Structure 1
Amino acid sequence: MTEAVVLAFEDEAFSARQLDAMADGFARELSALGVARGARVALMSSNRPEFVVAIRAIWRLRAAVVLISPAWKTTEVSHALDIAGVTHAVGDHPVLAGLMPMRDLGDTIEPTGVSAESGFDGPNASDDAVLVFSSGTTGMPKAVRHTHASLDAAVGHWRDALDLTAADRLQVLTPPSHILGLLNIVTALDVGAWVRLHRRFDIDTMLRHIESDRITVEMAVAPIALAMASHPRLEQYDLSSLRYIMWGATPVTSSVAEEVTRRTGIGWLPAYGASEIPVIATNPIDDARLDRVGRAVEGVEVRVVSLDTGAVLPPGHSGEIQLRAPSIMAGYLPDEENITAFADGWYRTGDVGAVDADGWIELIDRSKEMIKVRGFQVAPAEVEAVLHGHPAVADCAVFGVDDGVGGERIVAAVEIAEPVTGDELIELVANTLATYKKPSAVAFVDDVPRLPSGKVLRRVLKDRLSKESHGCTTDN
């Protein structure tokens, strides 16, 4: 009898037993290379079946996967390897291969016999499962540690919130190094759903496969939603298999979502999560609304506290959103990032919002200064550090402005000591950091407003620039 396919990639198809056999074979290979319990293995890879196999193999050895973004450049990857204490590396990326010995995922993985016992004990709940990266307060990314217990809790929350079953069919186009991409893959395989991986996002490929693969749940972030809304031939695709489209990573842009629904008849399911706690809230499938991120999923406690006093506020009042849940991370690396992460056992999201009497969560703003670019967080300090390295830059400050599609674009305000063009500064950042971290515009200013403590007054700077005219270079 033909075994059911659970993973598809281009013209390849894999059953659960085939994936297990490949994972067992790869685990034996990694074990021979010295990977053992407690090891941290960097994985820098495109979307491909070997990505899934590598994760499962590393977990069989009770080691942790350190997910590195394939968009990162040498400076960022080197920092990540250092703070995570990486001991081994697998992937398909030349940047990682240039920094340490890497088992190339492009090479053949020999499976064990499909009926053979693996011989591996598998992980404990308290073992670290995965480290993903979020923007750090000092500028460079910090590692978010999830144990198998916290990741399993998140998978359960995602499965229940989306009502996923073995009858569902999904496709993954978002980067696997991002918590959303990983969560989608792990949850789909956990429930026995069918999932297709794509090397990269392409709107026509996505729409064509919704039609041909009869996809039932489509995962989207703001750029995907915008591409759908602006597609000139959207109505030509048969999207009737979709139960809904999930919108995550940024607040919903209602006009974009409504345009897609008007043209296709497919509704949206807004969701709210973070690297530190992957599933916070989702809209009910049968009662979704675009003006709220949803209600907290079962198992996640939410409270709102005063930004001034830290006192717990009653329903309807805005303040910082704080959380408790079994799915919350085990902590950050480096350790100093944990100092302000929790308050009395509650995780501090840094998001400003309110929860009404019926439990609906409204996001208002972010008290943290991170910039959300196409679903990725960018720390202003990280970009500023690169700009400060240019001899012409006397001072600078980086902030985000609305990009019109639910996210932000990066603007750099620069005080110069000698002539330099905006294009030159943009190119410097692009050559040093991931492409999505480069400024879209450089505004030359007479001075960067700061408090006596040295803290940049970003809001003052943004307001000033909106009222004054400065030389500006825009990246188109």
Structure 2
Amino acid sequence: MIPNWLLQRAYLTPGRLALTFGSKQWTFEQVHGEAMRRARQLTSCGLKNGDRVALLGKSTPEMVFIIHGCMLAGLEMVMLNSRLSKSELEWQLEDAEVQTVVVSDDYTELINGSNVRMVTVSELQSMDETSFLPEGSWNDDRTITIMYTSGTTGFPKGVRQTAGNHTSSALSSVLNLGLSEKDAWLCAMPLFHISGFSILVRSVLYGMEVRLYEKFDAVHSAMQIRDGNVTRMSVVALTLEKVMEALLENNWAVSPNFKTMLVGGGPVARSVLERASELGIPVLQTYGMTETSSQTATLSSEDALQKLGSSGKPLFFNEIKIEGASKAKEAGEILIRGPHVTPGYIGRFSERQPMVDGWLHTGDIGYLDEDGYLYVMDRRSDLIISGGENIYPAEIENALMGHPAVQEAGVCGIENDTWGSVPIAFIVKKADVTGDMLIDYCAARLAKYKVPKQIVFVDQLPRNASNKLLRRELKKLLPST
């Protein structure tokens, strides 16, 4: 059994600082009070223990209170990505079979017209409160969150993340990073992402302050690091560079209180690591996925340069092996095992088992070196990572194939100085159509970051003997400059 995180933390250290947002602060006791109020209001909505509710909101204290309120009320939370299009959100709401979605007032247009009951945050705040009895503990397999992740099929999968998954992830992380009473985590990651949500979990398990930002702000982040108000921060390579630029432009020094810059979303370039080292920023590169409730492996800062490109070793409770590999540096599919791995999916993929013979097959290709350090060679083969966001070509191709003028579509990523990589589409057309028309067509159906930045018209797409699209060959079709 796992104790209800917030109930236990508010009991153990009620007066300890839990949350900071701008000039406002809340202790764990105060967060508990606000969360209990939201739980009673959610109960007034007719929601009861075991029900599933979707959340679509900004990274604000109010959303933190609602998240904790859902956990106190025993509700499974479907964490919706506010960057998705209306049609993408409708698909997820239908797949998750939720009856109610709690929405920030600014996002109502994304939900209007759906069959799901919508309750705005302001409506929830003004509701009467209905008494209920919160659970004091959970079974390990109790589903806490559901987060959607795209797959190679082009259809997103609803990943179950349990109390045991989240707890194991947080404990593995603290065994690696250590903990002190002065620790404070700067959270500029969206709370609907596993990276942002995992910071909230760590907060209540560790008794640690979270300094929350509604959105990433490089200058403010740099100021917090300069002033020693935070000891840790989670970023992707792009946001790490922006924080460093702010420090350098303002000639600010990094406080000795700052311990960890945890970087996900792909390896960090040597030049960036060297600059971080000169600034006194300890960078820890990580490897993880939605199915593993955040980190599986982490590279220590002292190994960052000598193991350049590595994601490190598996955290304490976790195991990694390479399928079919019999020696070091032999590449194959990365397999993961541990208590942080999801027990399964919901909706369309509810029958799919995430593990085979006890191991999660990630679809990622990599190898382990002679010292057991993981190197990820290809993120799910064709995955595009743009500004830390995962983009699957099949999803964009499916959208493009819906256009009557498109006969074939192939998508890959090309390098971009700002985002690392952006999607580009290659089209075999069957009727007159322009690139701008297809971009507009995608923009109405996909999140902005998934919309192709360029459309290239070709006579045919590269395929193998089985007629399977060879996405790795697409870049060769780009006109020479």
Instruction: Confirm or deny a common fold (TM above 0.5).
Output: yes
Alpha-carbon contact 1:89-1:101 (below 8 Å) kept:
yes
1:207 has 2:222 as partner: yes
Report the RMSD for the aligned CA atoms in angstroms. Answer: 2.7
Match of 1:174 among 185, 189, 205: 189
1:58 has 2:70 as partner: yes
Alpha-carbon contact 1:23-1:111 (below 8 Å) kept:
no
Q: How far 1:235 moved relative to its partner?
A: 4.8
Alpha-carbon contact 2:170-2:201 (below 8 Å) kept:
yes
Alpha-carbon contact 2:222-2:247 (below 8 Å) kept:
no
**1:299 matched to which residue of 2?**
317
**2:415 matched to which residue of 1?**
402
Q: Deviations over 1:234-285 (max 9, x none)?
A: 45223223223111122222222323333x2223111111111122111235
Distance 1:338 1:118, change over 3 A: closer
Percent identity for Structure 1 against Structure 2: 30
Q: How far 1:166 moved relative to its partner?
A: 3.2
**2:23 matched to which residue of 1?**
11
1:437 has 2:455 as partner: no
Q: How far 1:394 moved relative to its partner?
A: 2.1
Q: Deviations over 1:31-60 (max 9, x none)?
A: 122222321110111100122111211112
Match of 1:281 among 294, 297, 303: 297
**1:193 matched to which residue of 2?**
208
Letter in 2 for 1:349: T
Distance 1:350 1:359, change over 3 A: same
Alpha-carbon contact 1:247-1:269 (below 8 Å) kept:
yes
Match of 2:271 among 234, 255, 262: 255
Distance 1:137 1:223, change over 3 A: same
Aligned counterparts of 2:336 and 2:26: Cα–Cα separation in 1: 38
Distance 1:36 1:302, change over 3 A: same
Alpha-carbon contact 1:342-1:348 (below 8 Å) kept:
yes
Match of 2:38 among 26, 31, 54: 26
Aligned counterparts of 2:127 and 2:109: Cα–Cα separation in 1: 27
Q: Secondary structure of the residue that 1:188 maps to in structure 2?
A: helix
1:383 has 2:396 as partner: yes
**1:184 matched to which residue of 2?**
199
Q: Matched residue pairs, number?
A: 459
Letter in 2 for 1:29: Q
Aligned counterparts of 2:277 and 2:118: Cα–Cα separation in 1: 45
Q: Deviations over 1:1-39 (max 9, x none)?
A: x94321011232111011111111111111122222321
**2:345 matched to which residue of 1?**
332
Alpha-carbon contact 2:87-2:445 (below 8 Å) kept:
yes
TM-score normalised by the chain length of structure 2: 0.88
Q: Secondary structure of the residue that 1:28 maps to in structure 2?
A: helix
Aligned counterparts of 1:204 and 1:118: Cα–Cα separation in 2: 43
Q: Which runs of 4+ in 1 moved over 6 A?
A: 110-113
Aligned counterparts of 1:29 and 1:146: Cα–Cα separation in 2: 25
Aligned counterparts of 2:269 and 2:213: Cα–Cα separation in 1: 25
Once the two structures are overlaid, the 10-residue window that deviates more, 75-84 or 387-396, is 387-396
Q: Secondary structure of the residue that 1:261 maps to in structure 2?
A: helix
Q: How far 1:163 moved relative to its partner?
A: 1.9
Q: How far 1:185 moved relative to its partner?
A: 2.1
Alpha-carbon contact 2:365-2:381 (below 8 Å) kept:
no
Q: How far 1:338 moved relative to its partner?
A: 6.0
Alpha-carbon contact 1:24-1:112 (below 8 Å) kept:
no
Unaligned runs of 5+ in 1: 307-311, 471-476
Distance 1:342 1:107, change over 3 A: same
Letter in 1 for 2:435: G
Q: How far 1:71 moved relative to its partner?
A: 0.5
Match of 1:126 among 141, 146, 161: 141
Q: Secondary structure of the residue that 1:443 maps to in structure 2?
A: strand
Alpha-carbon contact 1:24-1:111 (below 8 Å) kept:
no
Distance 1:337 1:27, change over 3 A: closer
Aligned counterparts of 2:302 and 2:464: Cα–Cα separation in 1: 49
Q: Secondary structure of the residue that 1:102 maps to in structure 2?
A: strand
Q: Secondary structure of the residue that 2:171 maps to in structure 1?
A: helix
Alpha-carbon contact 2:19-2:25 (below 8 Å) kept:
yes
